[in-house]
Amino acid sequence: MSRAGRVALLAGGVGAARLLRGLAALVRPTDLTVVVNTADDDVFHGLHVSPDVDTILYTLAGLSDPGRGWGIRDDSFRAIEALARYRGDTWFRLGDRDLATHLFRTEELRAGRLLSEVTADQARALGVKVRVLPMSDGRVRTIIETAQGRLSFQEYLVRERAKPVVKSIRYEGIRTAEPAPGVLAAIEQADIVVIAPSNPFVSIAPILGLTGVRAAVRRTSAPVVAVSPLIGGRPVKGPADRMMRALGMKPSPLPLAELYKDLLDGLVIDRADRSHVPALEGRGLRVTTTNTLMNTPVRSTAVAREVLSLADAARTPLAS
Ligand code: FO1
């Protein structure tokens, strides 16, 4: 494997963390920057929670719960259970050790520090050498308009278990929020830009929607490679297929490629979707099919290796 050079990963939560686990095994930590979605952030019981940032940090620190994908392995939930004696809205399960993260972040933000500064402190404290950048220090909130009315992202995903039919998705604050310090530079200076197998609508779209980000990804001379979050039309976890259907798309790699159209040089899809390769290559994309289910570190590294070699291949122009 030639040195991959500097890699910038656009990431949501659980799916991104699985790929990142593999990239971190192949790329020097100082060459790896993760730009993380913060439009899932919300305040629970007075605490600012950044679920995707925490999932990425915990994964890189080796603390994440492999089964759940979020929170800290073997965490207890005594505090949230005790809180349930006073209030009924404890549906967002904050673990006892996880609480330390939210307490620290909330205190620091209240003292006027920026989310990107606090995240750098957390990474350092957890021994994480990879650069973890929240996409913005400004407030962006994904709002899901459903037949039952307007829901915050966590109300939709966790409280309602992604059952309401999605009518539309909005990103409150996206026009005024700025990319966090270092985000545009990380993309512009990358030798490879990777779009993680995260939900394209609620994890990747908020990042690309920030002022200047989509243009930076389009402008970069680095190959841009995405990993499909779908396997045979279904996501490993989460509502991506339901959202695609609700928004009038078939849950397949083609509409996904359309969503990223002007940005992608390559796409890694699961073998289950190999029938779509000719149509994807017809759009000028380089396509690799592999087993994209990253249910072990070995699988994560295998998919990460495919991403890096597809990026290498994409550096040479396609035979016209
Ligand atoms: N997801 C759930 O399905 N149920 C939960 O109770 C829950 C709590 C939670 C606490 C902290 C955290 O960082 C993430 C948490 N998540 C939970 C996952 C979260 O909703 C998703 O990881 C992201 O928002 C989507 O990527």
Which atom of ligand 1 is nearest to 154's Cα? 20
* Contact call for residues 19 and 7 (beta carbons, < 8 A): no
- Ligand 1: which residue has its CA nearest to atom 25? 13
Average confidence (pLDDT) over 215-235: 96
- Check: pTM over 0.95? Answer yes or no: yes
Average confidence (pLDDT) over 35-62: 98
DSSP string across 248-268: T--SSHHHHHHHTGGG-SEEE
- Ligand 1: which residue has its CA nearest to atom 19? 51
Which residue's structure tokens are 């994964």? 59
State residue 3's pLDDT score.
64
**What backbone phi and psi angles, to 5 degrees, belong to 42?**
-160, 170
Strand 7-11 versus strand 32-36 pairing type: parallel
Which residue's structure tokens are 């500064």? 117
Average confidence (pLDDT) over 42-60: 98
C-alpha of 68 from chain center: 16
- Ligand 1: which residue has its CA nearest to atom 13? 51
Question: Candidates 158, 160, 204: which one to mutate for ligand 1, based on the most atoms within 8 Å of Cβ?
Answer: 158
* Contact call for residues 34 and 116 (beta carbons, < 8 A): no
**pLDDT of 289 above 80:** yes
Compute, in angstroms, the gap from residue 68 CA to the centroid of ligand 1. Answer: 9
Q: 166-182 pLDDT, tens per residue?
A: 999 999 999 999 999 99
**pLDDT of 320 above 60:** no
Which atom of ligand 1 is nearest to 69's Cα? 22
Average confidence (pLDDT) over 18-29: 97
Q: 72-85 pLDDT, tens per residue?
A: 999 999 999 999 99
Measured distance between the N- and C-terminal CA atoms of the chain, rounded to whole angstroms: 27
Q: 106-135 pLDDT, tens per residue?
A: 999 999 999 999 999 999 999 999 999 999
* Contact call for residues 156 and 162 (beta carbons, < 8 A): yes
CATH class of 13-143+173-313: alpha beta
- Ligand 1: which residue has its CA nearest to atom 26? 13
Supply 50's token pair. Answer: 């950044």
DSSP string across the chain: ------EEEEE-SHHHHHHHHHHHHHS-GGGEEEEE--TT-EEETTEEE-HHHHHHHHHHTT-B-TTTSSSBTT---HHHHHHTTT-S---S---HHHHHHHHHHHHHHHTT--HHHHHHHHHHHTT--SEEEESBSS--EEEEEETTEEEEHHIIIIISTT-SPEEEEEEETTTTPPBPTTHHHHHHT-SEEEE-SS-IIIIIHHHHTSTTHHHHHHH-SS-EEEE-SEETTEESSSSHHHHHHHTT--SSHHHHHHHTGGG-SEEEEEGGGGGGHHHHHHTT-EEEEE-----SHHHHHHHHHHHHHHHHHHTSPPP-
Angle at 64 between CA 63 and CA 69, to 5 degrees: 180
Which residue's structure tokens are 């439009």? 39
Higher pLDDT, 5 or 1: 5
Q: For ligand 1, which residues put their CB under 6 angstroms from it?
A: 12-14, 40, 49, 51-52, 54-55, 70-71, 92-94, 98, 154, 157-158
Compute, in angstroms, the gap from residue 138 CA to the centroid of ligand 1. Answer: 21
* Per-domain boundaries in the chain: 13-143+173-313
* Contact call for residues 141 and 71 (beta carbons, < 8 A): no
- Ligand 1: which residue has its CA nearest to atom 4? 158
